[in-house]
Structure 1
Amino acid sequence: MRHVIVVVGSDEQRRQAVPQVCLLDDESVRESTWYASRNQDAPGVLLDDQPSFVLRFALLPLLAYRFYLLVHNTRLWGGKRPLVLIRGRSLGSRLAAYAGSWGGGDIVKADGSDGPALRPTRYVLQPDGKLKLFEA
């Protein structure tokens, strides 16, 4: 079983449909959502929607450490590298991409835009849900 962590950093991403991942050999997928917010159970204002720059940058170390722990513990629990689905290039997406790669996750560019992927990206999600190895 492979664990997929969907990153939500703004209200716009919260309203978007969650991309579906189809793995090879019909491997089962366990999916969870991580909100770039102090409270995961009842996320209020997300990091990208935070009006204060001071609060944004004060939250960065806390959120980065929490996401690092989530990815690292998921890898230890599951035995496989979790897939971290990143949409866009916002502050919350960048935070999750770097902290997730440090925690041992595989970063997946999940939006269909033609924009460049973040540097730690390993896979690109195709429209049919299949993963393609990222070529820089």
Structure 2
Amino acid sequence: MTKAIKLLTALPPPQRERLMALAREVSFPEDARIFESGGAADRFWVIRSGAVSLDQQVDDLRRVTVAGLGAGDLLGWSWLFPPYRWDFGAVAFSPVRAYEFESAAVLRLCETDPALGLTLVRSVAEVLAHRLEMTRGQLREQYALHRRTMF
């Protein structure tokens, strides 16, 4: 299994500095809903401390946690792809401190600095590939557990 990529450390220092110039520090209390699936994805965060759960609504009453994120992790990638809507929901599992980035400002920066834009998109793609690999592993485990309980 590949190692999780940390977005800010993946960027070379000059590019990281340009991106960080757009950041603002935010915090979320434990149990705060950060965003809801289907909502407008107009920003993203890099978690500084704390834990965030990504979840999916499966019916009117239940949400299922699909991933947990912690320090250094990217929270939110839907801002990069049309239709710019969150694919999952996110809730603070503990008090969270994060850097928040408005997507419009980051996309403008990427247009004026194509090298930064390419590095950022590649880094986000690596994050997504890692999360897909993790999800695939979880599905295999669930399938194996289900097969053992059926037979």
Same fold by TM (over 0.5)? no
| TM-score for both structures, normalised by structure 1 | 0.32
- Comparing both structures, which one devotes a greater share of its residues to helix? 2
* Larger RCO (alpha carbons 8 Å, 6+ apart): 2
The structure with the larger Rg is 2
- Comparing both structures, which one devotes a greater share of its residues to strand? 2
